Amino acid sequence: MVLKLENIKKKLNSFIFFLILILVLYLLANFIYLIWYIANPEGFWGFSYFWELLMVAVFAIILIFFVSLLFTIVVSTFYKIIIGKSNFKELFKLLGIVLAVVLFSGFNYFYARGFSLYLSKKLSDKYSYLQKTEEFLKEGNLVKAFDYAKTSYEKEVNRNEPSNYLFMAKLYSQTDFDKKQRLLNKYAVLINYAYCLNIDPKFNNISESKYNEALELTKSNLLDSERKNLAIFPTLSLAEINLSRGNYLKAEKYYNELYSLNKSLENEDIFYFINCNLLFADYALRIGDINQAMKLQSENLKYYENSKLSKTSTNYLNLLLLTATSELYFQNYEKVSELLLKAIPLAEDRKGKAIYSDFLIVKANYCLASGLNSRGNELILEKNWWSKLKESFSEKADVNTDLLKEAEKCLVELVQKSKENAGENSFEYAKNLNRLGNYYSSIGKNDLAYKVLNQALSILKPNKEKNKELYYNLLLSSVFVSFDKQNTKSALNEIELYYFNNLLDNFLFLSEDEKVFFSLNMEKKFEIINSIYLSNIEENSGEKLYDNVLALKNVALYSNQNIRNYLNNINPILRKKYQKLLFEKEQLLYNNSKETELLLNKKQRDLIVEINSQEQFKILNPKSISWKNIRDYLRDDEVAIEIINVPENIKGKNDRRYYALIINKLCKSPKIVSLFKESELLKVLDKNGQTKERIEKLYQNESVELYQLVWKKIEDETLNKKNVFLSVSGTLHTISFPALLNSKNVNLTYLGSTKDLLKNENQISNKNKISIFGDIEYGKLNETNTSKLRYTNLNFQMLPYSKKEVNQIKEKFEKKNLKEILMFTKNTATESNFRNINSTKTDIIHVATHGFYNKYGRNLDNLNDNTIENDLLKTGLVFANANKHLIDKKNDGIISSFEIAQMDLSGVDLVVLSACETGLGDIKGSEGVFGLQRAFKLAGVKSMIVSLWQVPDKSTSELMVHFYEFYLDGFSKKEALKKAQNIIKEKYKSPFYWAGFVLLE
């Protein structure tokens, strides 16, 4: 019995020992897994970090055991002292020995193991997949970067929750600290993976979804303190993705979010600030606002250079290259070479990095452009000692030739690098092939260009939907150098369809100013398309050309007019909102800030989106009118002429060639007539002398030269035609065709576009109400306020004949018993009274005053260095007290075209500007003249009489009185003006006195 009990006791002890052993092993396994979970190792160095962390943890447990043992001994010794079995000497001796052992062991362990732990941690971080990905990207090794990013992403996503059996790790995983750490880890791998995916456009849908996942993570309450900083990069990237797709409406959403985030950045967040500015610059570039983009690039460089950050860093090199690219666009070759000379030593130190490819692109672009235009800096060329030695014994090579060779060398190296690093089927490789192909095209090697561009196309075509913009730009470049006419036709149809759809999509939300930038940017694409039609003239080339011109000419102006017409006639509620926005936009002249301007642009876009969603609103379709509609409108004795100009593109020279596209009632297709080069026209127009002398040389003494150049080749098409409808482009906006055709029997009508014929068909001219401004008192120059001038160096004299002019015009209307005549003279002819003209209260506005076109001067307000830049600020009209330069800018006597454009004059049939240079302004491609004529058109005016040069006061006064005499007798505006000019012509033979005024309908 005793033996049995002993056996049972032994077995029980063995079982308990076994249970304790299992429990200890279980706790040990839990402990080890907890350390593994915290370390989350990646690769060899990650495992090393785990091992070191485990050793530290084990030592910590041992240390805790020793401390517990020490505490037990101390308590036991104290007890023995109390009962008299020991003394304090023994206690201190024991404490000294134990503490010495513990401290020595701890110091020794942490001195050795602590350094090892730190080193392992650093190496673990350095060789983690996230860090390694970044390293590969900097080296330009895209394939390896992608593999590493994918591995780290999959590892983090597939990371399991600790099992309930591993209770230590499970409990740790429930803490906010660990939850936050896991969120940050997941955010990091998502961003990393999304960034790598976005390098190849065929993956950018997946990239977009990963960035959106990352953004969702930032909304967690655990990341409150980090949210704004974490949200910036994915927001910036999502905006970039949508910009690259041409999806500006969606990009706009992220653009506004980014601006909000950017405002919250602290000074130390300079890189985020710069990256945000880079995105804003990219957005500006894509809608065609080059000035804004360049301003932002320069701002970035200055911001960085004024900081204490390194001037030898990769970031600094990147900013130098971006600014150089902006300067190159404006052909500031000296500035570009200055920036490149700073960049060269920095780039040479980074030949194995991705930034070196960017350097090669900028250098190649500079060498190509400066070489073609003979504006290069020889210092940019890299020459080794052998090249220099050879030069010393041979005839010196042409610098331009060397620059072109250097450009090719850079691009070939770029193509090779992208092939090695990204692969021969990569997006990066295709982009660089495109650059090389465009280089060959620029220097006239079309066979090489075609071969290279087609290679790039074959790479992009399978995934063209992922990056349509690059694909169609590349396809257009390929067609330009192609010899395959059959394929060219189908390719051009596809390209045109894409570009017009892109235009329609983006006009759904762009603001008024942005539409202008976008349309001018789009025009550059169609200049290439039109050049292709002109270089391969076939049966339908004229039809294609005419339809493209009808679609794009003044398209931004017509789109903006379409919106305003809808608001004025159909939707009074939205009209009030729009008018409020225009008023706020005008306030930017007086109290501008970047933040206010961006906010107003956003509000305007939001309102345009709302307008476009209205059931009654009809979106302007630029392709809705074709050349056949114009032909069908014409009578047998009428002809319509569109004069266009396209780049000559001869080795990069900036010359342009003008063509006439002619339609009559019986034509089967528009006729194409090649006219002249712009350089030839400018040479003829370059006459010395005062205005009168120059005008007489052009239109009288030497008029044959101008006539032969501009009109002779289309003369036969206008013979025996009762009406000639003409729409011009480029420098022809500055020519007086009535003066040019003075001796010919041509009844000419000026049009912004010949499609205006269809719009003007049902218009009725109203003459019941007129508002007259004239005989204006401009006041004495107020010397104390000259430093606050809005428009410097302007001092206006009274126009003595304007008094007689306005009084006689008033008498003419009174004799006709018209309903209402509003007369503003002397000090009542104020800017304020002009602004208060309501479009429903007047049919005609007559202004006899000074106009101005400040072509070379600043268009900015000296009172505010931040005032917005706008070409419409360079032109304007002058009213009472303008010389006093009043501080009240809403009534300072000077109203710019920009301010007029914000008015509502939609009920006004005719504006007569009896003033100097009111038809002038900056010429902006297919959008025409940016001056008073555009401002009044935007405000809703149907037709205008404007002047092309500084007109004499006396003859102008007489001309205007005669015009109203005929107009009120029932003649059309055009007939009345022509009859008035004929009368003045009899009195003053020089065209200077009568030919400067033209009617724009």
What is the rounded CA–CA span in Å between residue 627 and residue 293? 37
- Can you point out the beta strands (E) in 648-692? 656-664, 671-677
- Can you point out the beta strands (E) in 665-778? 671-677, 723-727, 748-750, 769-776
pLDDT at residue 123, as a whole number: 32
Residue 630 burial (CB count, 10 A) = 21
In a domain, 75, yes or no: no
Q: Could you report the per-residue pLDDT of 188-204, keeping only the tens digit for each?
A: 778 778 888 777 767 77
In a domain, 308, yes or no: no
- If pLDDT is split at 50, 70 and 90, which confidence band does 81 have? low
- Give the end of a domain, one of 694, 729, 758: 758
Q: Could you report the per-residue pLDDT of 826-843, keeping only the tens digit for each?
A: 999 999 899 888 666 789
Mapped onto helix, strand or coil, the DSSP state of residue 749 is strand
In a domain, 71, yes or no: no
Q: Is the pLDDT of residue 7 over 80?
A: no
pLDDT at residue 132, as a whole number: 61
Residue 723 sits in which domain range? 627-758
- Examine the domain organization and report whether 637 and 732 are in the same domain: yes
- Examine the domain organization and report whether 830 and 922 are in the same domain: yes
Instruction: Look at the block and give the residue holding tokens 């013979």.
Output: 719
Q: Is the pLDDT of residue 412 over 60?
A: yes
In a domain, 490, yes or no: yes
What is the rounded CA–CA span in Å between residue 791 and residue 896? 10
- Give the end of a domain, one of 561, 591, 614: 614
Compute the CA torsion angle 678, 679, 682, 686 (nearest 10 deg). Answer: -170
- Is 270:307 a contact under the CB 8 Å cutoff? yes
- Is 129:185 a contact under the CB 8 Å cutoff? no
In a domain, 868, yes or no: yes
- Examine the domain organization and report whether 872 and 981 are in the same domain: yes
- Examine the domain organization and report whether 907 and 959 are in the same domain: yes
What is the rounded CA–CA span in Å between residue 206 and residue 208? 5
- Examine the domain organization and report whether 930 and 809 are in the same domain: yes
Weakest-pLDDT range from 16-25, 451-460, 608-617, 748-757: 16-25
Compute the CA torsion angle 688, 693, 697, 698 (nearest 10 deg). Answer: 90
- Examine the domain organization and report whether 499 and 599 are in the same domain: yes
- Examine the domain organization and report whether 996 and 847 are in the same domain: yes
Q: Is the pLDDT of residue 866 over 80?
A: no
**CA 73 from chain center: how many Å?**
78
- Give the end of a domain, one of 694, 724, 758: 758
pLDDT at residue 860, as a whole number: 36
- If pLDDT is split at 50, 70 and 90, which confidence band does 124 have? very low
- If pLDDT is split at 50, 70 and 90, which confidence band does 175 have? confident
- Examine the domain organization and report whether 725 and 857 are in the same domain: no
Helix, strand, coil content of the chain in percent (nearest 5): 65, 10, 25
Q: Could you report the per-residue pLDDT of 14-24, keeping only the tens digit for each?
A: 767 676 767 66
What is the rounded CA–CA span in Å between residue 240 and residue 429? 20
Kindly state the helix (H) or strand (E) to which residue 944 belongs, with its residue range.
strand 943-947
* DSSP for 429-494, written as a single string: HHHHHHHHHHHHHHTT-HHHHHHHHHHHHHHHGGGGGGSHHHHHHHHHHHHHT---HHHHHHHHHH
Q: Is the pLDDT of residue 516 over 50?
A: yes
Q: Which of 172, 151, 153, 176 is nearest to 163 (CA)?
A: 172
Backbone angles phi, psi at 516, to 5 degrees: -65, -50
Kindly state the helix (H) or strand (E) to which residue 824 belongs, with its residue range.
strand 820-826
The average pLDDT across 235-243 equals: 78
Instruction: Look at the block and give the residue holding tokens 């490789």.
Output: 429
pLDDT at residue 210, as a whole number: 84
Per the structure, how many domains does the chain have?
3
Spell out the residues 6+ positions from residue 571 whose beta carbon is closer than 8 angstroms to its own. Answer: 611, 614, 616, 617
In a domain, 442, yes or no: no
Spell out the residues 6+ positions from residue 1001 whose beta carbon is closer than 8 angstroms to its own. Answer: 749, 750, 751, 756, 760, 942, 943, 973, 974
pTM over 0.85: no
In a domain, 875, yes or no: yes
Residue 388: beta bridge partners?
A: none
What is the rounded CA–CA span in Å between residue 506 and residue 660? 30
Tokens of 238: 């999502």
- Examine the domain organization and report whether 678 and 708 are in the same domain: yes
What is the rounded CA–CA span in Å between residue 94 and residue 71? 12
Tokens of 792: 């410097």
- Examine the domain organization and report whether 739 and 771 are in the same domain: no
Backbone angles phi, psi at 179, to 5 degrees: -60, -40
Q: Indicate the pairing of strand 997-1000 with strand 943-947.
A: antiparallel
In a domain, 161, yes or no: no
- Examine the domain organization and report whether 593 and 672 are in the same domain: no
Backbone angles phi, psi at 902, to 5 degrees: -85, -5
Mapped onto helix, strand or coil, the DSSP state of residue 731 is helix
pLDDT-above-90 percentage for the chain: 22
> Bigger pLDDT: 68 or 994?
994
Q: Which of 885, 714, 718 is nearest to 791 (CA)?
A: 885
- Is 656:730 a contact under the CB 8 Å cutoff? yes
CATH of the domain at 912: 3.40.50.1460
pLDDT at residue 27, as a whole number: 66
CA-based torsion, 49, 54, 55, 59: positive or negative: positive
Cα(first)–Cα(last) distance of the chain, in Å?
A: 127
Q: At what angle do helices 427-442 and 468-480 cross, to 10 degrees?
A: 30
R_g (Cα) of the chain, nearest Å: 39
- Examine the domain organization and report whether 748 and 771 are in the same domain: no
